[in-house]
Structure 1
């Protein structure tokens, strides 16, 4: 159904309501103030309502104008999102939110490789424990730790992670069997799904209460373990750089029962999956992790 007034008049109305000035709207749209005034007067006649009233040196929308402005603003915002979905001009922007330790330990070290393969992309990465609020249109996708929350989301599990005790080589020389951990300072990680009590139960041991050091981020626990402060129970995926460099080792590899679980998910709104940069990134992410790409992101 066609609107009762031309789209050009709606654009003039939106600018005048936002700028609270016919003159400012005219300057923004490269029109004369008289052309703006004429278009809005004709729009009021067509709709049968007064949309603006004088307010000092400027103008202000009437209650009817405010109501229309609210709908028009959302409509133009939706139009802009639609253009963003299909536009292919300049750098392709990808706005990511990510769990802090995954961002620091796994994603950030690989971004150079991703951008080298896709030089026309621009990536903006923010990290935080709170989940992205997609209703604000601030992010295209989120890599979350723990079960995804929210409705209307595409979800791609990022594969199994193995959680095992990790420490520096000097401390590892003192650990020959799971029970040896009871004599070691254990680094506690808050906000984790897999904790020391779970690992000890898996290995048929009773965890001892510890007054050792605690962290609320895995990357801090890993750094502390590498510095010799104790033994951390962390994901080998997040620790792969430290393990590869020899700063951390798994002293009980093959001698203890480790825990595997799906810790992270890639999520995005249903409408965002149509954006080419997001699909390219999701495909790259799946390839890097050796997992199957979600059909919704193919």
Structure 2
């Protein structure tokens, strides 16, 4: 079917769908509105379906039109980016998907540094708990929480994270040993791989019955702990800004057993590792994490 459809008709469809107007599409393509309308009607006839609902003042995509636009829009976006890269003009777009708490607490605050080091790159960042589906070509790289899924991908572990109780300095005054936590409000992050019962077990204690607040994101648990609600069991990597500013402290540092594990991974298709944008991001994030970890260890040694 593709061979029987002029590329000009698909181009007219994509422009009209993106702008929501045959007139705007015509202006963009340097055509007349009637030429755009004719091209789209020919496309509809060839496909034996209706792509737009038309009225006197506007046009709107039908479900079939929305489906086609998902593919046509991505195709033209990729074509535009490819031509820009080959011609060496304009920014190269890097589409990053990321676990929400890592995005909010660690990645987003550092993106300005990455873009300053890579001025020819443009980053589009999206955050959700879903895994990016590279087969849809929606994203170039993904920072996932937990063991990555899928085949044919390059997987880069993003180093160990330390999980420890964190609270405000005022609350920390009454915590001298792990058992002191029994009298505190313990904040739970439901989707975290390391839970309170595992931390208490690592410290030779049976976990108490935990009542109180629970959240489904680490960045919310960290915010609540910073406000003085209670004690959160969180990654010092995700809470590094709050720790650096003194909003949160680790009351049992050096007096308890912390849980260390690899929580986040960088994932991208193996076929993409030769792309300069993907390679630059992978090198930057691993280097930045190594530097951050080194600074953290230095601070801990000084504090001791």
Q: What is the TM-score when the length of structure 1 is the normalising length?
A: 0.74
Aligned to 1:128: 128
Does residue 89 of the first structure (1) align with residue 89 of the second (2)? yes
Rounded Cα–Cα distance in structure 2 between residues aligned with 1:226 and 1:280: 34
- In the alignment, is residue 119 of structure 1 matched against residue 112 of structure 2? no
Aligned to 1:232: 232
Could you tell me which residue of structure 1 aligns to residue 59 of structure 2? none
- Where does 1:252-263 land on structure 2 (aligned, <5 Å)? 252-263=252-263
> Quick one: structure 1 residues 168 and 144, their matched pair in 2 at CA, closer, same or farther if it must change by over 3 Å?
same
Residue matched to 2:277? 277
Q: State the match for 1:43 in structure 2.
A: none
Question: Which residue of structure 2 lines up, in the alignment, with residue 153 of structure 1?
Answer: 153
Instruction: Report if aligned partners of 1:163, 1:260 keep a CA contact under 8 Å in 2.
Output: yes
Deviation at 1:115, TM superposition (A): 1.3
Q: Is the 8 A contact 1:143 1:267 kept in 2?
A: yes
CA deviation map 1:228-286 (0-9, x unaligned) = 11100000000110000000000000000000000000001122222211111111111
Task: Provide runs of 4+ in structure 1 moved above 6 Å.
Answer: 27-31, 55-59, 76-79
* TM alignment of 1:44-123, pairs within 5 A: 60-61=45-46, 80=79, 88-123=88-123
User: How big is the alpha-carbon RMSD for the aligned residues of Structure 1 and Structure 2?
Assistant: 3.5
Q: Which consecutive residues of structure 1, in runs of 5 or more, have no partner in the other structure?
A: 1-8, 32-54, 64-69, 292-298
Distance 1:194 1:84, change over 3 A: farther
Verify the 8 A CA contact 2:9 2:43 in the aligned structure 1.
Answer: no
The superposition leaves residues 111-130 of structure 1 with CA deviations (integer Å, 9 ceiling, x where unpaired) of 11111122222111111111
Structure 2: state its 5+ residue gaps: 14-21, 32-39, 49-67, 292-304
Is this contact kept in 2: 1:141–1:267, CA < 8 A? yes
**Aligned 8 A contact 2:85 2:92 in 1:** no
1:165-184 maps to which residues of 2 (within 5 A)? 165-184=165-184
Name the larger-Rg structure. Answer: 1
Is the 1:17–1:60 Cα contact (8 Å) retained in structure 2? no
Deviation at 1:61, TM superposition (A): 1.9
| Secondary structure of the structure 2 residue equivalent to 1:60 | helix
Whether contact under 8 Å (2:97, 2:125) holds in the other structure is: yes
1:86/1:275 contact within 8 Å kept:
no
TM-score, normalised to structure 2, is: 0.73
Deviation string, structure 1 residues 60-113 (Cα, Å, up to 9, x no partner): 2278xxxxxx9xx8xx77983865775632112111010011001001111111
Equivalence map 1:27-38=2 (5 Å): none
Partner of 1:36: none
